[in-house]
């Protein structure tokens, strides 16, 4: 046996012996929840003179790039379509040319805000933030989105894969969003843009407003039929996932999850992003869009669950901060990724021993597996080897680590 291999085995054994007394478990069920579609990147504005962070190679690993659009700036007056700010923000520094050059990347328009002239003036809502959308402007709101998509295609050569109906907005009622969805699809189809998909509702997953809007859409058959995917933000927990199943996997709709709120930029630690990704993937997300791109650790998780991976539902002890996801790749290999955080999202400080159970592999006897232990910065250490015996293995995890456990054979 090579000395390096012997050292890794001894190191792994030592870590296992010193792991926390409380054993945790990840049970990989045979339940197929979703097939991974891919990952996205929200392209944020770059201040004048600031360096452009994303290189052409950065975009190669993403399936989607989201472009936030301020509708208030785009239509300051009725009938006006002013995209100068949008063009200056996204089309002037070379990043967009590199995106367009990559045929694999789908561009997603992420509008937010409602033009002032579309809002009602009421005595109970003096500020613009609280004023409701005038009902007569619902079709005009849809027309505004369609005009912007058409104008960017004609003037700038921007071809959109999908359009979000609206960013989180207290201006629009659930019924108004439902009606706008139908209007937007009709206009797209009438203008020869049937391939542009519509996603909704762009609300935090744990916010009752998301449920109210999805209910309104689902209760109107035409609106529900033209919705291509459910779009939620922040983290989707397991209890919420069971609820959203009726809107997504049970109905054949894809579930897109996006990190953070728009247009605000929120910088989060790498391990917290990893925990959010794993929770969302385990909860049914087939597409995950990162704000300002994936961290190195997030990139490793994306590589672990590439497009086409058949995700399996995992049951974990959430009271110990364990976040996990599992799936079967197209080549038949199984992969389980997990990390630990406390209630605030900070890394769990105590070490622990985690038992991985994969019943589908129990009849395979001993299955050789690779264990990659990643620190918060996502840097790889030398992989370790482990045997999954009758579908079970014990894996240690220390503070700040993320583990990627991969079988060598199906």
How much of the chain exceeds pLDDT 70, in percent?
A: 81
Cα distances (Å, whole numbers) of residue 191 to 107, 150, 196, 228: 19, 9, 11, 18
φ, ψ of residue 75 to 5 degrees: the values are: -140, 75
Task: State the CB neighbour count (10 A cutoff) for residue 88.
Answer: 12
* Tens digit of each residue's pLDDT (9 = 90 or more) over 260-302: 765 555 567 788 888 889 988 998 899 999 887 888 888 899 9
What pLDDT was estimated at residue 333? 96
* Tens digit of each residue's pLDDT (9 = 90 or more) over 316-359: 866 678 899 999 999 999 999 999 887 566 667 678 899 999 99
pLDDT at 127 over 70: no
What pLDDT was estimated at residue 31? 85
Q: How far apart are CA 133 and CA 121, in angstroms?
A: 9
One fold for 3-31+316-407 and 37-233: no
How much of the chain exceeds pLDDT 90, in percent?
A: 49
* Tens digit of each residue's pLDDT (9 = 90 or more) over 214-223: 999 999 999 9
Which range of 3-12, 141-150, 164-173, 196-205 scores highest in mean pLDDT? It is 141-150
365 contacts: CB under 8 Å, gap ≥ 6: 389, 390
Pick the more confident residue, 380 or 275: 275
pLDDT band at 381 (very low <50, low <70, confident <90, very high): confident
258 contacts: CB under 8 Å, gap ≥ 6: 40, 42, 66, 202, 231, 232, 233, 288, 289, 291
What pLDDT was estimated at residue 128? 54
pLDDT band at 76 (very low <50, low <70, confident <90, very high): very high
Which range of 95-99, 368-372, 398-402 scores highest in mean pLDDT? It is 368-372
pTM of the predicted structure, to 2 decimals: 0.86
The domain 3-31+316-407 is placed in CATH, from the list 3.40.1440.10, 2.60.40.1180, 1.10.260.40, 3.40.50.300, at: 2.60.40.1180
Helices 296-304 & 270-282 angle (0-180, nearest 10): 30
What pLDDT was estimated at residue 60? 59
Under 8 Å between Cβ of 279 and 35: no
Residue 185: exposed, middle, or buried by beta-carbon count in 10 A (0-12, 13-18, 19+)?
Answer: buried
What pLDDT was estimated at residue 121? 77
- The mean-pLDDT minimum among 57-71, 188-202, 308-322 falls in 57-71
What pLDDT was estimated at residue 129? 65
According to the CATH classification, is domain 37-233 in 3.20.20.80? yes
pLDDT at 399 over 90: no
Rounded mean pLDDT of the chain?
A: 83
Instruction: For the chain, give every domain's residue range.
Output: 3-31+316-407, 37-233
* Tens digit of each residue's pLDDT (9 = 90 or more) over 233-268: 887 666 666 778 778 877 888 999 988 765 555 567
């Amino acid at each position: 046996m090579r000395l390096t291999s012997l050292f890794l085995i001894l190191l792994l054994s030592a870590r296992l012996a010193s792991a926390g007394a409380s054993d945790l478990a990840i049970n990989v069920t045979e339940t197929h929840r979703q097939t991974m579609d891919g990952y996205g990147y929200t392209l944020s504005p770059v201040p004048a003179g600031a360096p452009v962070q994303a290189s052409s190679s950065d975009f190669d690993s993403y399936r989607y790039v989201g472009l936030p659009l301020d509708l208030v700036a785009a239509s300051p007056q009725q009938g006006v379509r002013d995209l100068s700010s949008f063009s200056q923000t996204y089309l002037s520094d070379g990043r967009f040319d590199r995106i367009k050059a990559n045929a694999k990347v789908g561009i997603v328009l992420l509008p937010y805000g409602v033009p002032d002239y579309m809002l009602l003036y009421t005595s109970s809502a003096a500020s613009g933030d609280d004023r409701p959308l005038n009902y007569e402007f619902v079709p005009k709101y849809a027309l505004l989105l369609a005009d912007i998509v058409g104008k960017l295609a004609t003037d700038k050569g921007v071809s959109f894969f999908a359009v979000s109906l609206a960013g989180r907005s207290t201006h629009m009622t659930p019924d108004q969003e439902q009606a706008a969805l139908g209007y937007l699809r009709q206009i797209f189809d009438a203008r020869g843009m049937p391939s542009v998909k519509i996603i909704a509702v762009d609300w935090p997953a744990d916010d009752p407003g998301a449920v109210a809007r999805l209910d309104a859409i689902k209760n109107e058959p035409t609106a529900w039929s033209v919705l291509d995917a459910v779009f939620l933000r922040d983290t989707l927990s397991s209890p919420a996932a069971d609820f959203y199943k009726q809107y997504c996997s049970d109905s054949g709709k894809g579930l897109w999850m996006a990190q953070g709120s728009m247009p605000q930029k929120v910088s989060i630690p790498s391990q917290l992003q990893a925990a959010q990704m794993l929770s969302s993937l385990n909860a049914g997300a087939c597409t995950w869009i990162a704000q300002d791109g994936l961290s190195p650790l997030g990139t490793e998780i994306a590589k672990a669950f590439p497009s086409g991976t058949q995700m399996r539902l995992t049951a974990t002890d959430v009271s110990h901060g364990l976040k996990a996801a599992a799936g079967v790749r197209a080549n038949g290999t199984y992969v389980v990724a997990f990390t630990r955080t406390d209630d605030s999202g900070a890394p769990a400080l105590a070490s622990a021993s985690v038992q991985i159970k994969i019943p589908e592999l129990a009849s395979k006897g001993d299955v050789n597996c690779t264990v990659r232990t990643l620190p918060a910065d996502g840097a790889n250490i030398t992989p370790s080897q482990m045997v999954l015996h009758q579908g079970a293995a014990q894996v240690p995890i220390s503070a700040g680590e993320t583990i990627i456990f991969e079988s060598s054979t199906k």
